[in-house]
Structure 1
Amino acid sequence: MHKKRVVIGFIGTQLDSGKGAGRWEKWRPTVSLVQHEDMVVHRMELLYTPAHHELAHQVRTDIAIASPETTVRLVPMAIADPWDFGEVYAKLFDWTQAYRFDTEREEYWTHITTGTHVAQICLFLLVESRRIPGVLAQTSPPKRQQMGDPGSYALIDLDLSRYDVIAQRFGAEQRDAVDFLKSGIATRNARFNALIDEVERVAVRSRAPILFTGPTGAGKSHLARRMYELKKARHQVEGEFVEVNCATLHGDGAASTLFGHKKGAFTGAAADRAGLLRTAHKGVLFLDEIGELGLDEQAMLLKAVEEKRFYPMGSDREVASDFELIAGTNRDLRTEVAAGRFREDLYARINLWSYQLPGLAQRPEDIEPNLDHLLARTGAELGRTVRLSAEARTAYLRYAQSPEALWSGNFRDLSASATRLATLADSGRIGLPLVEAEIARLQWLWQPARDARDGLSGARAADAIDLRALLGEEAVDAMDLFDQLQLAAVLRVCRQARTLSDAGRQLFQASRAQRTVVNDADRLRKYLGRFGLDWDSAIRAER
């Protein structure tokens, strides 16, 4: 399908002017664009200031005579000072935001021969930043002026890598994009800020897959959606943002959900289904928890990523989908590859741009700006302003930034905490008593995780492994804490192992290599015997 050609440009208040029959004997840049026999302009967006309304209508009439197949849209722009860079850029920027570009059906030429030098610079920047998709067009008069000669034209396809100096001079847009990815939150963590800076550059320059690794709630899904919205604003994607949590996909439903199926492909397939990969055509597909996909689905996904084509279930005909992939996982896919649970070739394909998102506990300096952002957002939803008192803020941050605050749910925990504070605040004021109650709630929430983190230390460890039930109160009290902890750790390995020999191999995996006679089971049996235990008594609480 041939795309329709659309030209965007300012009217030339001097070069395009002229009245009477003599105007056809002079070279007029805007009119000349439609006079080339080997090129058709289907539509022209002709920008002009209200002061040149009459000239704009004259040019439109002349274009209709020279090229009846060209539609001209007159676009008035109320620019008071055409030499004011800030005013001209703002007007053009607003117009590009409102204009509905259709890059699938149309190609865009931005004509920079006419208009003030300021207007030409602004148009250049908007094309360079992809606010206006397409190429620049420069027209030139004929070497010898003669009636009907349209002169020549040249197209300039901006290669961003050749204009790094200009890009640096106008770095404000990049800073705005980074701020957008961070939702306007003034994050302070240097590692996270550096990560977002690079993600912004990759988002606007690359269509390759991107992999986000990090704990649940670290913001992988949120960042993926913001990347899509940034690409959408730059006209780099036209389709939808499609998100799927791979942990919810099982059996035939997994392949059907992703790749679609033909009617009758399996029991329950009562009708054709397109699948989410096709829904994401020309857009972005975010596969959260990609490590949960089965090996068969991984193989199908690899083909779809590499070739942009795949077979729906039960179909012998390929379908196409040109999507961009962002993947997320809370697993270490390197380990999954080594264990044979994740395909090495797929990992290599999605690992070109790989980023480890730190959890909230690793970004304590970012808790305060994120808390303020969440309180403001929740307050807006509740229809009131919500603020922490000075002493309440100090108390909350003292706990929130301490090692005692685990933030095991990351931003989900912080969002829930902010919601509770904002909802319970009388007259929108969060005082110290409310914060103290919230801290107590968080401590209760994280107690099981804290116990696991601390390794069930001290007497609690002994109690949790039931040493007193196994050995008796007097025997445990007579043991050193070191022996209690060591025995508890050994018993935990025993209760997770299949056999005595299996437990021995795990416990003595290093020292066994130094022995000429290896009998791990006998070594473990003798260790347990020191405390009056055998294999059956060591594991009976579990089996």
Structure 2
Amino acid sequence: MKKRVAVSLLGTKLDFYGKRVDRWQKWRPNVSLCSQQDLKIDQLHLMHDNRSVWLANQIRDDIGTISPETNVELHTLNFHDPWDFEEVYAKLFDWCKQQDFNTDQCDYVFHITTGTHVVQICSYLLTESRHFPGKLIQSSPDSRNPIKSVGQVQLIDLDLSRYDQLANRFDIEHQEGSQFLKAGIATKNEPFNRLINQIEKVAIRSPEPILLTGPTGAGKSQLASRIYQLKKMRGTVEGALVSVNCATLKGENAMAALFGHTKGAFTGALAARDGFLKTANNGVLFLDEIGELGLEEQAMLLHAIENKTFHPVGSDQTVTSHFQLIAGTNRDLQQQIRTGEFREDLLARINLWTYSLPALKDRREDIPANLDFELERFTRKNGKRVQFSKEARTEFLRFAQSPHALWRGNFRDLTAAITRLCTLADASRIAVEDVREEITRLASHWQQDVPADQHIVTQFLPPETAQSLDDFDQQQLSYVLQVCRQHQSLAAAGRVLFNVSRLQKSSSNDSSRLQKYLAKFGLKWSDIHA
């Protein structure tokens, strides 16, 4: 059977009752710890300072009286300031490192009833990190026990996996955080769900910059706002969320808007102004489209992130601001570094936590849930509930989840579509005719976004296939298709397309060459002239 070894600090007040005989009628933490019938302490390491040697010896003698099987070892440990966290933790840490813990033969407990609150916190941290390989134990008076000096004790095991209820509560809290970041939308896309789960952890645990990338309309601004709200609910920030679209910051005004300015710093500066960085003190600064910032602003921003200080325009006074940065961009910042438009050192500083939000077309399985979210949002905003008929919803989703729906504007396109459908619906019911009209509108809108020379490509290839082509292939195939449309036979189109190389061959077969070229894209001559 393993021995039980306890570590405790002498309670200079709670353990002290002098030499009076009635001290045995009083509750004393360390004496109580060794008085338990159901908890035998084989060895007690009792720490004390130089001023409490007499009291430490008295407690050791009293423990020897009521529990002669307990071997009490005294250790001198002096704290210059027992409320200094750094000092207390360092000395307890060093003490633990000096011990030869034998967990095969001994069970260890750390008594946390005595000492300052700082000592108790450090004891917890050392036990939780396994530098002290045991459990915590707490003693307290027990009014139900006729022997007042015995009191009661409680073991605390920091292995949360042994506490199903607590573990479940942590799981629920984590799920609630992730659902909050997704606005309660039950998404099914696994890569996106994994991404949100990690962002939830980072949002709560880290004050470092977060970089959100992805196409326009993928939800970067909304996610940044929800990250802030989650941090606010969990008490990790106190200040405000300051959202800035860097694309609107141009020229001289950019520096002043970000870092503030003094009165008279430039023409039109009639009064001093705090910039966005100062306003975000103790809060979150969201810089959307950070790739639009000029190089000078980028340099000052890097200094502000690293040092939490900056100088307003026209001032030599240092301003301090402790903010967490969330940056958003739809640009390729690495490409901007190569072209000299973005600072490499700034990107290195802000991409510790980088998350790329997928486009809506890459999350088609999440469209039904987002459709319901948009309907509910329309209801809250307009005070009018509108629903799809069963047939209309089926038809809309069939199109929305098909390759023909390009969703170039991502969630902005979806929001606009639902807003139009709800507004035009009669009797608060979206009908099949409404859906078909909206599908035509969306298809026409996306077709207008395609360059004119690519229109013919999208007529013959699925949208996703057309989008996957390099610009070279797009241009070449577009020209080939235009020539094919202008001729009635493969041979005639081939003579135009291969007008030089065919003359260099002893036997030209223009039809076969053109057939093979079209087949590379899954096309046949009959498809073009259908």
So what's the TM-score if we normalise by structure 1?
A: 0.56
Offset at 1:175? 0.3
Q: Please give the alpha-carbon distance, in whole angstroms, between the structure 2 residues aligned to 1:458 and 1:203.
A: 42
Pairs within 5 Å for 1:287-366: 287-366=287-366
For residues 268-301 of structure 1, what are the alpha-carbon distances to aligned partners after superposition, in whole Å with 9 as ceiling and x for unaligned?
Answer: 2222111000000000000000011100000000
Cα distance in 2 for residues equivalent to 1:485 and 1:298: 53
Confirm or deny that 1:370 pairs with 2:370. Answer: yes
How do 1:130-279 and structure 2 match up within 5 A? 168-169=167-168, 170-279=170-279
Amino acid at match of 1:480: A
| Range that drifts further, 449-458 or 281-290 | 449-458
Residue 493 (structure 2) aligns with: 480
For 1:307 and 1:455, locate their aligned partners in 2 and report how far apart those are by CA, in whole Å.
52
Tell me, in whole angstroms, the C-alpha distance in 2 between the residues paired with 1:443 and 1:212.
Answer: 29
Q: Structure 1 pair 482/457, CA: closer, same or farther in 2 (3 Å)? A: farther
Question: Match of 1:284, as an amino acid?
Answer: V
Matched ranges for 1:65-104 at <5 A: none
Q: 1:274 to 1:26 in 2, by over 3 A?
A: farther
Distance 1:352 1:452 in 2: 41
In structure 2, the CA distance between the partners of 1:349 and 1:463, relative to structure 1 (3 Å rule), is closer
Contact 2:256 2:275 in 1 (8 A): yes
Q: Is contact 2:457–2:478 with CA below 8 Å preserved after alignment? A: no
Q: What's the CA shift for 1:459?
A: 10
Contact kept? 1:462, 1:484, Cα under 8 Å: no
| Rounded Cα–Cα distance in structure 2 between residues aligned with 1:266 and 1:481 | 67
CA-CA distance at 1:442 after TM superposition? 0.8
Contact 2:457 2:477 in 1 (8 A): no
Question: Structure 1 pair 388/308, CA: closer, same or farther in 2 (3 Å)?
Answer: same
Say which SS state the counterpart of residue 243 (structure 1) adopts: strand
Distance in 2 separating the partners of 1:482 and 1:354: 53
CA distance in 2, matches of 1:391, 1:284: 45
Contact conserved, 1:392 with 1:435, CA < 8 A, in 2? Answer: yes
Deviations 1:477-511 (A, max 9, x none): 99737976999xxxxxxxxxxxxxxxxxxxxxxxx
Shift of 1:340: 1.7
AA at the equivalent of 1:321? S
Residue ranges of structure 2 left out of the alignment (5+ in a row) = 1-24, 30-111, 114-123, 129-136, 142-155, 461-473, 501-530
> Is the contact made by 1:287 and 1:325 (CA closer than 8 Å) also made in structure 2?
yes
1:5-32 Cα offsets, whole Å, 9 max, x none, are: xxxxxxxxxxxxxxxxxxxx98899xxx
Q: 1:179 to 1:320 in 2, by over 3 A?
A: same
1:390-469 superposed matches below 5 A: 390-450=390-450, 454=454, 456-457=456-457
Q: Report the CA distance shift for 1:230/1:463 in structure 2 as closer, same or farther (over 3 A).
A: closer
Q: 1:447 to 1:481 in 2, by over 3 A?
A: farther
- Which residues of structure 1 form unaligned runs of 5+? 1-24, 30-111, 114-123, 129-137, 143-155, 488-543
After TM superposition, the structure 1 = structure 2 runs for residues 522-537 of structure 1, keeping only pairs within 5 Å, are none
State the Cα distance separating 1:358 from its structure 2 match: 0.3
Verify the 8 A CA contact 2:212 2:329 in the aligned structure 1. Answer: yes
What amino acid sits opposite 1:393 in the alignment?
R
Residue range with higher mean Cα deviation, 258-267 or 172-181: 258-267
Q: Structure 1 residues 484 and 359, CA, compared in 2 at 3 Å: closer, same or farther?
A: farther
**What does the per-residue CA deviation read over 1:504-540, in whole Å, with 9 as the maximum and x for residues that have no partner?**
xxxxxxxxxxxxxxxxxxxxxxxxxxxxxxxxxxxxx
TM-score, normalised to structure 2, is 0.57
| Kept after mapping to 2: 8 A contact 1:458/1:481 | no
Aligned-pair CA distance for 1:457: 2.7
Aligned CA distance change for structure 1 residues 454 and 193 (closer, same or farther; 3 Å): farther
Q: Do the aligned residues in 2 keep the contact of 1:379 with 1:422 (CA within 8 Å)?
A: no
Contact 1:458 1:485 in 2 (8 A): no
Displacement of 1:201 in angstroms is 0.7
Indicate conservation of the 8 Å contact 1:456/1:464, yes or no. Answer: no
CA distance in 2, matches of 1:275, 1:384: 40
Structure 1 residues 208, 453: CA separation in 2 closer, same or farther (over 3 Å shift)? farther
CA distances 1:100-132 after superposition (whole Å, capped 9, x unpaired): xxxxxxxxxxxx99xxxxxxxxxx9xxx9xxxx
Q: Secondary structure at the match of 2:316?
A: coil
Task: Give the Cα separation in 1 of the matches to 2:450 and 2:303.
Answer: 43
Q: 1:484 to 1:423 in 2, by over 3 A?
A: farther
Quick one: distance in 1 between partners of 2:225 and 2:453?
32
Residues 324-359 of structure 1 show CA distances to partners (whole Å, capped at 9, x for unaligned) of 010000011111112221111110000100011001
CA RMSD of aligned residues (A): 4.0
Greater mean alpha carbon deviation, residues 220-229 or residues 449-458:
449-458
Q: Show CA shifts across 1:26-55 (max 9, x none).
A: 8899xxxxxxxxxxxxxxxxxxxxxxxxxx
Alignment CA distance shift 1:406-1:482 (3 Å): farther
Indicate the residue corresponding to 1:286 in structure 2.
Answer: 286
Kindly provide the amino acid, as one letter, of the partner of residue 399 in structure 1. Answer: F
CA distance in 2, matches of 1:333, 1:434: 42
Work out the number of aligned pairs and report it. Answer: 340
Shift of 1:140: 6.5
The one-letter code sitting in structure 1 at the alignment partner of 2:416 is A
SS, match of residue 286 in structure 2: strand
Q: Between the two proteins, what is the percent identity of the paired residues?
A: 54
Give the Å deviation of 1:445.
1.2
* Post-superposition CA distance 1:164-217 (Å, at most 9, x none): 876744310000110111011101111111110110011111111000100111
Contact 2:453/2:475 (8 A) holds in 1:
no
Secondary structure at the aligned position of 1:171 is classed as helix
Partner Cα distance (1:386, 1:208) in 2: 42
Per mean C-alpha deviation after superposition, the further-off stretch among 168-177 and 180-189 is 168-177
Residues 210 and 350 in structure 1, CA contact (< 8 A), matched pair in contact too: yes
Secondary structure of the 1:212 match is strand
Question: 1: distance between equivalents of 2:353 and 2:490?
Answer: 55
Deviates more, 1:207-216 or 1:444-453: 444-453
Question: Take 1:231 and 1:251, find their aligned partners in 2: how far apart are those partners?
Answer: 33
Contact 1:261–1:275 (CA under 8 A) maintained in structure 2: yes
Instruction: Rate the CA distance shift 1:405–1:459 in 2: closer, same or farther, 3 A.
Output: closer
Change (3 A) 1:483 1:261: farther
**1:368 Cα deviation after fit:** 0.8
* Cα offset, 1:427, TM superposition: 2.1
- Tell me the distance in 1 between the aligned counterparts of 2:495 and 2:397: 36
**Aligned-residue offset at 1:452:** 6.7
SS of residue paired to 1:263: coil
Asked if the contact 1:308/1:322 (under 8 Å) is kept, the reply is: yes
Whole-Å separation in 2 of the counterparts to 1:424 and 1:186: 27
Pairwise CA distance, 1:383: 2.4
2:454/2:478 contact within 8 Å kept: no
Structure whose CA Rg is larger: 2
Q: Distance in 2 between matches of 1:483 and 1:266?
A: 65
The one-letter code of the counterpart of 2:205 is R
- Secondary structure in 1 aligned to 2:408? coil
Cα deviations by residue, 1:452-483 (Å, 9 ceiling, x for unpaired)? 7957539999999999x9xxx89x99973797
Output the amino acid matched with 2:349: R
Q: Counterparts of 1:282 and 1:486 in 2: how far apart (Å)?
A: 70
Q: Is the 8 A contact 1:228 1:241 kept in 2?
A: yes
